[in-house]
Structure formats: structure tokens, C-alpha cells
Amino acid sequence: MKDIEFRKQAEELVSKMTIEEAASQLLYNSPAIERLDIPEYNWWNEALHGVARAGIATVFPQAIGMAATFDPDFLFEEAKVIAEEARAKYNMSREEGDRDIYKGLTYWSPNINIFRDPRWGRGHETYGEDPYLTGRMGNAFIEGLQQRDEKGYMKIAACAKHFAVHSGPEGIRHGFDAKPTKKDLEETYLPAFETAVEDAKAEAVMGAYNSVNGEPCNANKELLEKTLRGDWGFEGHVVSDCWAVRDFHECFHYTKTPAESAAAAIKAGCDLNCGCTYDYILDAYQEGLITEEDIRQAAVRIYTTRFRLGMFDKECSYNSIDFSASNTKENKELALEAAERSAVLLKNDGLLPLDRKNIKNIAVIGPNAYSSKALAGNYNGDSDEWVTNLDGIRRAAGDDIRIYYSQGSDILKDKEDDLAREGKYYGEARTCAKHSDVVILCLGLDRDLEGEEGDAGNSDASGDKMDLLLPPTQRRLAKEVLSVGKPTVIVLNSGSSLDLSEYERDASAIIQAWYSGQRGGDALADILFGKVSPSGKLPLTFYYEDGNLPDFADYHMAGRTYKFIKEKPWYPFGFGLSYTTFEYSSMKVKKDNDMITVSVDIENTGSFDARETTQVYIKYNGDAVEKPNHVLAGFANTFIKKGDTKTVTIVLDKKQFESVLEDGSRKLLDGEYTVFAGSTQPDERSYELTGKRPLEAELTAQQGVIS
């Protein structure tokens, strides 16, 4: 079936509705229209890293961890699993007469906002700080969710959110006006949405809470009418973030009444309301603020989605997916592989992988050692098998190695027990360390400390971070344990960058494990004991906590991310160590019309079979306004056996060499360009950490032609 036919079916059905019935369908919890055999439907469903809030499902690592894989093909496979489980759950719920929230087929994922500031609590829902990486990963996720069958039905519908220019602060988001420059809009905030719409064909787009340059996102005609539907040709539906339209009159004072707010959103092209402001649509209609055509147009758009999903076809092929397809053994194994591939090895003095022959006792210490919250992230599903870090290490250690465990401290509170003194478990933690050959110190954050405003328990910052340091109780724990002097691996579960440079000298190794999903503990153990080599790369910059970050509420990109940072970071974007070594050689750059092909030979010169992420960056060597340091333009994830050499080829488009000017236009500037290819970005900090620089080649652009 063609999409145009789905649109015609929607138009026909909506034409049979009264104006009151059509208006009722524009709420996220749409009521049934029995005379037309339309069941009630709840549009609100979540699938950020697995089917969320709907019972038992496979829980994959949080989105930021998947970004660390730098592997869109793998994320596509994960998304296919999520879609299969979503359909299985939908079919089960429908059979049981359950039309509740989180039981539908329209999923409000992925979050493709740019993680521009490391303090943002929701940053771990994203694919990091780079627009190109975010676009590639976001597209793969959308395409994996939105598979089509022979009739053209989608398995489930994806939603790219939050459109646009949205990345905190959480505490003021309901009345906050983001003021990006035209250059920052085009260069940073919009590209991932543009490719999600034009290339991945995202079925839905969700508007953000904040306003942009004085106009709320869900009524922003520049964003919704001109850019989204006009310039990009978006044909899906737009949904508001939850209760965001209410903010028009309550927080922004953009309108005076709920009816005016509903009208403003509908007129701008926001078709579906998550919230209750569209209860006033008929008031707006009666007051002459909107027309019947406005209401029916929105209804047609959302019903086109429902027809694309095969909701009204009893013979839709996806109706046969059984409940047993959810949470299978194979899906759990994929979650394990995802966790293994997402972990980033930041430091290793040679301690890792652990040598079983020389280890009889291991201390596993810290508030994230035995915590499922450190695995789950937010917008998560429930697992029937949470394998904590401690569980995974115990499984891998077997009977030959004794495990000593101490919580060491609470993740946040100074006192775990109101009747006891502060530091109740510090003595136990030190003793465990003294009795061990190796210490695994599990620190970091969890979903209660960083997340969405109103969702995370971090009320002081509304889910954002106040700074980049560990909570004080964990800082003291780290000092107490490291003072014992035993070889120590610090494992960080968090969804954002932290600064642990204070402990770096005394730690033998540091692993960034993110919120690693239901098999996170098994994955950690596989890395610690060398069953797999770590291969993740940082999808965001790890800054020093030195006060050099720009003001959180300033959306200008100057001084932010690897592209515009001035100081050396603690650990740079794109960095991650391996248990093996890779040597790059024979870089070749060929031009074919508007495509530039970069190829390199990569030899695995170490002793482990492993994956390698090749990164290609472009740097313009001339003068330009607010010029980026360099820009990620391509990457490839390749498995290479020890001793083998593989040729990796990455194709660039001429457009990737263009610079964004002050007015937001793009132009290929005349002059010299350097193309870099290697394991890291071409910055000094990466060179300090690895002792290696990427290969490079020079190109020249003149009058719109690259040679």
C-alpha cells in the first residue's frame, strides 16, 4: 500500500467524524468513537533503549552508551528488536482489552537533541554532542523501528524529539527562551532533525518545552511551518511535549487563555497534544480562533499515522507477532553485546585485562556495585534479570576467586543511617580493599541524580548536575579506598561526563560504563577478565571541573563541545582505549564529482581480536567566523582479528566541507582543507593520551570545486 493511500483512508474516515469527534482525537489519550468502530488509543509510548514502562522487556544500554559504539548498523539491529517487542506487547494488550498508556504503537523516541552542556540531566537520553554522530545514530534507530511489511505498514512509529534547541536547564524549561544564532541553528541544533525527517522519514516530531527566539516551540511558525514542513517537506504529525502547550499561557504569557494556546499550537501545525489544553479546541473554534479545516487537517495527519501502522487492518502482518517474541534469550544476548561495545576504557596502566592466575581475592566496592538503578537509566523498561556489576563479577570469578563486597557509601547522602555517624561503611570498604589483590571501585550517578525535571530525585538542580564532580560522599570513599594502595579499577556508571582527574594518578584503570542495561554486570566482567576488548569511544567531551564552561543558559556554541572548546579537556570526544593496538597507513583520498572517498589500511598489531572505530575529520585552514576546531565527517566501526589488516573506506559529501556563515547559509569557502583519519580526533589531548596522530591529507577548494 502506498502512503498516499493511507492519507486517503485517513481523509475518508475523518470526514465521517463530527467536528466534536475530530477535535477529541487530537489529545494523546484519544477516546473511542464507537459508531465508527474506532477504539480508544493512547499515543504516549516510550522506547528510548527498550520498550519502557510497559512491563518486562529487554533493557539495552542508555542512548548515550549506544552512541559510544559509533555503530549505526548495530543500533539498527537493536531498534529492530525493540520494534518486535513493542508489537508483541501491543498485540497482547489489545487481546486483553488493555488500551492504557504505554501500550500503543507510536513511540516517542529517539531524543536527538545535542548534548551541548555536560550539566544537562537529560543528556544521557541523547547520542552525544556532535550533530553528525547524532544524525547517523538517530537515523539508524528510526529506520530500525519503522520497518515496513509488503503492504507498506510500519511496525511501529518513531518520533524525533525535542524540536528544537532543547538541552536544559531543566529547572526553567517551561518558561525559558533559547536564543541561538542563525549559525548555531544551522550548524548544531537542526541538522540531526533535518536528516531524521528527510532521510530516515521519522513519522512524528515532538516540539520542545522552551521557546526559541521568543516563540514557544509548539507554536513556532519559523520552526514548524517554514523549516519542518516547508523546507524539509515533513509529511508526518507533530506532537507537543507533555503539557507544553499549557505553558503558553501559564509560563510564557504568549497567550492569555487555554483556548488561545490551543489555537496557537494548531495553527502552527502541532497536531497532537500531550496534555489537556486541546480540551479547549472547540472553545477556540467557537471563538473563531481556528477553523474546522484546521481541526480536520490535524486529525487527518494523525490518522494517516494510524493507517500506516495497520491499526484498522485485521490482516496486518504484524498482528501475528506473539507475546513470546518479547524478552527472548537472543534479545538478552544482544543487550549483553550492546553493553560490552558501549563501555569506554579511559585509562589502563597494564592492569587490565585481569590475570586470573595472579588473583585470589577481589574487592568490589561502591554504591553502584550492587545497584540496578546504575544499569537502568531513565525512560527504561523493567527487566526480569538485572545483572549488577557485582553479580557479573561474581559470575565471572567463579569459585576460584573470593569476592569481598562493601557498599562503601550512599550514592549521595552523607549518612546512610540516621542513628549512625557519617561514613558508616568506610572502614568496611578499606578492610575489603586490604584483603584483596585488586579493587573494583564502582562510582558515579544513577537515574535519581540525573534525568528529567520532575522525574529525577535531584530536586536542587531539577535533574541537572550542579557540577562535574562526584557527590561528596563518593569523593571521600574514593580517597579512602585508593589510600590503601591496592591496584584499583574505577568503574563509572553515569550518563554524562564527570571529572575524576583527582583520582586518576592513583587508579590503575578507569572504565566509563554508562547506564549499561540489564546485562551491564556481565559486560563489565567480560571486559575486566579480557573475554572482550573494550571498543567504545566517547560521544561527548569530558571537561575538567574548573569553571570554564559557559553559562548553562547560554545557547551560543562558543566554548562548547570538541568543535569549539579552547582548553584541553580531561578526556576528549572520540577517545577510547583498547586491549590491542592498531596501526594506520596508506591513506588515500579520491574525488569523484561531489563525493570524496577516504581509505586507510588498518593493521591489528596487538594480541586481541577487537573492534576499531575509524574517525574522519575535516578542518578548514582559512579564516572563517567562529570556525570549528575540526568537524567529524565520517566514521566506520570494523572488527579486525589480531595480525590482520583491513582497508576501511569512508565516503564524504562535498557539503560536509561547507562552512556555516553568520546568516545561517552554507558555503564552500575557498582555500585549504585538511582531512584526518585515525583512531581519535586530531587534537593535542588525544595525542598526549595515545602518542599517535591521525593520518592527514590536504585538499583545495576554489570557486565551489574541491581538488
Catalytically active residues, by annotation: 241
399: amino acid identity, one letter: D
DSSP state string for 342-401: H-EEEEESS-PSP-GGG-SEEEEESTTTT-SHHHH-SS--B-S----HHHHHHHHHTTTS
Say how far apart CA 90 and CA 323 lie, in whole Å. Answer: 9
- The runs of H, that is alpha helices, within 202-312 are 221, 247-250, 258-268, 281-286, 292-308
Lookup: cell for 423: 561514613
Identify the CA nearest to 520 among candidates 394, 397, 340: 340
Say how far apart CA 263 and CA 266 lie, in whole Å. Answer: 5
Those residues whose C-beta lies under 8 Å from the C-beta of residue 268, and which sit 6 or more positions away, are 218, 219, 220, 221, 224, 225
Alpha carbon 236 to its chain centroid, in Å, reads: 22
Helix (H, G, I), strand (E, B) or coil at 408: coil
Contact by Cβ (8 Å): 281, 262: yes
Beta bridge pairs of residue 439: 363, 488
Lookup: cell for 127: 547520542
DSSP state string for 99-134: --TT-SSBB---B-----STT-TTGGGS--S-HHHH
Taking the CA atoms of 68, 71, 75 and 78 in sequence, report the sign of the dihedral they define. negative
Lookup: cell for 703: 570557486
Say how far apart CA 207 and CA 219 lie, in whole Å. Answer: 9
Count other Cβ atoms within 10 Å, centred on residue 42: 16
Q: Which helix (H) or strand (E) holds 21?
A: helix 19-24
Helix (H, G, I), strand (E, B) or coil at 50: coil
| Dihedrals phi, psi of 267, to nearest 5 degrees | -65, -30
Those residues whose C-beta lies under 8 Å from the C-beta of residue 402, and which sit 6 or more positions away, are 360, 361, 362
Say how far apart CA 617 and CA 437 lie, in whole Å. Answer: 42
Locus of grid cell 586490604:
434
Going across the sheet that includes 344-348, the strands are 344-348, 509-512, 488-493, 438-444, 361-365, 402-406
Burial of 164 (0-12, 13-18, 19+ CB in 10 A): buried
Locus of grid cell 525535542:
162
| Dihedrals phi, psi of 480, to nearest 5 degrees | -60, -45
DSSP state at residue 62: P
Say how far apart CA 492 and CA 67 lie, in whole Å. Answer: 16
Count Cβ neighbours within 10 Å for each residue of 59-70 and write b for 16 or more, e otherwise: bbbbbbbbbbbb
Identify the CA nearest to 437 among candidates 356, 504, 556, 516: 356
